[in-house]
Amino acid sequence: MGSNPRKVCYEYAMSSQGIREPPYRYIYGILKEISNMINKSTSSPMDVSHYIFPRIQPHIHSWLHIYGKNIIYWQGTQAELVVSEPELLKEIMSVREISMGRPDGGPILNKLLGDGMLLSHGDKWVNNDLSMAKAMVESAKMIFQRWKDVGVKEEVCEEFRMLASEVIERTAFGNNYEDGKQVF
């Protein structure tokens, strides 16, 4: 079996910069290991805590402790770089010449989820983000105005549920919560 030339180039470039990686396995990368870690993480009840990172991405949580603050790992033939140093992340994000898009979801995921915020790229993502941000601001203004007029309730859980519904309705249908009650 030959080695993947792209992987060898990535490995050399990353290791020369101090970025380490979990052991690579030919063809599937470490997908089975990731799957096992996720299954183990979700098989037991979670402690009452807001720190959910080890629960939702146990593989990255574990590897950051083993291999350092910045790692590269392979999902099949796709390399993914994980940067957890804030200063380095700021530096990377300030470079406008490189595209920091998400990996393609593949044909099945694209058909299932469509071309919304989760899977869109480039200008489409910017347009989706702007429309969602506008909807969030308008919906929040309405809720805050209602709180000023009526007064803030001690139990705001229902208010935040209404806010989330209203943002979704405005973004998806162009309606507000009051008009969209019939939809939901």
Bridge-partner residues for 84, per DSSP? none
Residues 6 or more apart whose CB falls under 8 angstroms from that of 7 comprise 24, 74, 79
Most confident of 3-12, 19-28, 160-169, 174-183: 160-169
Reduced to 3 states (helix: H, G, I; strand: E, B; else coil), residue 101 is coil
| Residue 158 dihedral angles phi and psi, to the nearest 5° | -65, -35
What's the rounded mean pLDDT across residues 95-113? 69
- Judge whether residue 1 has pLDDT over 50: no
Percent of the chain with pLDDT over 70: 79
Residue 76 is predicted with a pLDDT of 72
Residue 149 is predicted with a pLDDT of 83
Q: Do the Cβ atoms of 165 and 173 come closer than 8 Å?
A: no
- Judge whether residue 105 has pLDDT over 80: no
Q: Which helix (H) or strand (E) holds 139?
A: helix 122-150
pTM summary value: 0.55
How far apart CA 162 and CA 168 sit, in angstroms, is 10
Per-residue pLDDT tens for 36-84?
999 998 898 888 888 888 988 999 999 999 999 999 887 777 778 899 9
Greatest Cα pair distance in the chain:
71
What's the rounded mean pLDDT across residues 97-122? 70
Position with higher pLDDT, 89 vs 97: 89
What's the rounded mean pLDDT across residues 82-87? 90
How far apart CA 56 and CA 34 sit, in angstroms, is 11
Per-residue exposure over 120-141, b if at least 16 CB sit within 10 Å of its own CB, e if not: beeeebeebeeebeebbeebee
Position with higher pLDDT, 66 vs 172: 66
Per-residue pLDDT tens for 127-146?
877 888 888 888 888 888 88
Least confident of 12-16, 97-101, 162-166: 97-101
